[in-house]
Amino acid sequence: MSRFAAPIAEQIWDMKYRFKAADGTPKDVTVEDTWRRIARDLAQIEDDKSGWEDKFYAALKDFKYLPAGRITAGAGTARRVTLFNCFVMGTVPDSMGGIFDMLKEAALTMQQGGGIGYDFSTIRPRGADVMGVSADASGPLSFMDVWDAMCRTIMSAGSRRGAMMATMRCDHPDVEDFIAAKSDSARLRMFNMSVLITDDFMDAVKADGAWDLVFGGKVYRTVQARDLWNRIMRATYDFAEPGVIFIDRINKANNLSYCETIAATNPCGEQPLPPYGACLLGSINLARLVSDPFEDAAALNVEALNELVATSVRMMDNVVDVSKFPLPEQEREAKAKRRIGLGVTGLADALLMLGLRYGSDAAAAQTESWLKAIARSAYLASVELAKEKGAFPLFDAEAYLASGTMQQMDDDVRDAIREHGIRNALLTSIAPTGTISLYAGNVSSGIEPVFAYAYTRKVLQKDGSRTEEEVIDYAVQMWRDLKGDAALPDYFVNAQTLAPLEHVKMQAAAQKWVDSSISKTINCPEDISFDAFKDVYMAAWDQGCKGCTTYRPNDVTGSVLSVTETTESAPGESPDQIGDSGEVVYMAEPLDRPNELEGSTYKIRWPDSEHALYITINDVVISGHRRPFEVFINSKNMEHFAWTVALTRMISAVFRRGGDVSFVVEELKAVFDPRGGAWMKGKYVPSILAAIGGVIEQHMIATGFIAGEGMGLKADPQSKVIGFEAPRGKSCPSCGQFDLRMVEGCMTCASCGHSKCG
């Protein structure tokens, strides 16, 4: 019998985590093989390899401990990929050569699959003097554009785009440009962006005081702190970015404040890291640890939790020694401090099983209690590892125990650390778990509330027909299994029905016992007032959070699919989340080629080339709509033969998988030929591949597949579903479904699990 609780869980495993040979043949025949592969790889450095392999397997079994996607997909495969999720790159020098050295390091890191963070505060502001060349500086935003373009060309391991975080201090002279950057819907789309907020700035905001914008000791101008704060708030209200990071609070709480200074985070914000800092992630699935769910005796099994945490800490510590690293500086940093980020997922489901309403005082108190138990267990497990294998190399007992986080730790834990040391400098973090939560049976993600208790996912079959799969939240399915058709109690709330300040309360409750940080999205209704929106951020500051990320539907990032209860719903009943995906849908298998296709042939002649290229694009018609199916490129020039055949086969394979395949155009048009491009029809075209991309784009426009040049899919008509209105947002770039939602600071697709952030 399959271990998977839902079809989507097995599909996520097959697409993202199942180990396959180069020709696609599965090497992991079952998910048990995946667990065994991971356990065996992480036990290889133990003296008792088989004993620890079995213990690690037991922790992984039935999705109790969920290593992050990098580990699940890469461990034991012998592939040259990093098992670490998060990197902050080195300090960016304020020189042209140094900046481009950093760009190269970023490309190498993303090529191996790491998400990266950068602090761009170290680059001189726009208009500043550049000594020795009689020129003005172009400023950090111009270099961020270069990073953004580089990231678009790098496909991270695991078939997802590179993810980046850019930070800038609130006193940098270009901070206002940084704040406004995302108002341009085409700019810096590969970045998440956050402003580094200092304690002094927040004091000035509350006092309505003046605030100097400074670089290199020079005051460039002075603004009112509250005006600058309001500009941040207005940009976030209108465009969902930038977020805010309370950087002084992070550095004061840091266990390693005696030997490092943090100025940036990984892309989703849960890992504040020093230059070349690296961290790996994993999550305890709380939904799997509740006994007697939905009964008066329901409780989390604390003994099982403690044992699972201890085993997970050992597994994660072993990853530090097993993993590859993109750069030697990252390896040195990781092994000197042995940072890990153990977190949770399934929190909201576990609370539901205990009859607690997410966002209530009781739920916040229970969350704080569970996170403290995890922190205690993790720190004590790391002490035991230090006894056996030694403390992390930069351990200094008195300095370590004097940090903000350790001062609140229980005395028995502090005494154990003082006597024996500790193996891992930092141990806890709450990371985005959108994809691994689907893989684990659609448990609630991280510490987020349940987004929707059920929704319908449409899958296009090879014959052109569609099947529908109901995707049900793990706790809701358990309720149905135990209670039958009984209506859901009123404590079943979701992300749409919660007040934003209830989100803040839950984040603050968890943060108290998380030594790194938390990736969480505070969903705000579109009609929230600006003043109420600002109150969310001030509450996050006042309640001790280390940062704040909100999402309010807007015209730039789009409206995510939402759930709306109707008057027909029974009291206490949660409506299904249902959306029509138009004609762009995820295909379970590639479509077979019909006997006849509609198509067109285009001729292009590249300057200085003896022969023209003839490009034929054929379309398949599904439900009356044309979509590209295959491409052929022909030329008498035999020099082009091999690469044109390879290119057409790859593009055709992508087209036959369905989804929003317009990204192919974007990728081709971005290719630059180092020998130079050419002017064609009044436009500069950077390469012959870019010219081919332009032809495909014009064909897609002509057939109505995309809306226009440089634009995405042509909008489908609004579809009414009985009892629900499903607002249209952007389609998923992987599968084309209109199931994107903001979860843990990152747009995530509910249909296929695609996420820019993993």
> 18, 102, 1: which is closest to 439 by C-alpha?
18
What is the DSSP code string of 645-703? Answer: HHHHHHHHHHHTTBS-TTHHHHHHHT---TT--EEETTEEE--HHHHHHHHHHHHHHHT
Q: Which amino acid is at 382?
A: S
The mean pLDDT value for 212-229 works out to: 97
Encode pLDDT of 694-713 as tens digits: 899 999 998 888 878 766 55
How confident is the model at residue 726, as a pLDDT? 37
d(CA 26, CA 24): 6
Scored b (16 or more CB within 10 A) or e, 590-619 reads ebeeeeeeebeeeebebeeeeeebebbbbb
The backbone torsions φ and ψ at residue 9, rounded to the nearest 5 degrees and listed phi first, read: -65, -45
In this predicted model, which residue has the larger pLDDT, 73 or 573? Answer: 73
In terms of average pLDDT, the best of 278-282, 609-613, 670-674 is: 278-282
Mean of per-residue pLDDT scores for the chain: 86
Q: What sign for the dihedral angle of Cα 43, 46, 52, 53?
A: positive
pLDDT higher than threshold 90 for residue 15: no
Q: With bands split at pLDDT 50, 70 and 90, how would you rate the model's confidence at 578?
A: very low
How confident is the model at residue 535, as a pLDDT? 97
> 389, 384, 419, 385: which is closest to 401 by C-alpha?
419
Encode pLDDT of 430-463 as tens digits: 998 989 999 999 999 999 999 889 888 776 565 5
d(CA 141, CA 330): 26
CA distances, 472 to each of 457, 477, 576 (Å)? 10, 6, 9
Scanning the structure block, which residue is given the tokens 């266990």? Answer: 255
How confident is the model at residue 589, as a pLDDT? 56
Strands 466-472 and 454-460, sheet pairing: antiparallel
> 434, 507, 495, 542: which is closest to 203 by C-alpha?
542
How confident is the model at residue 582, as a pLDDT? 32
Residue numbers annotated as active site: 266, 268, 270
pTM of the entire predicted model: 0.80
Encode pLDDT of 100-134 as tens digits: 999 999 988 887 777 899 999 999 999 998 876 66
Encode pLDDT of 316-354 as tens digits: 999 999 999 999 999 999 999 999 999 999 999 999 999
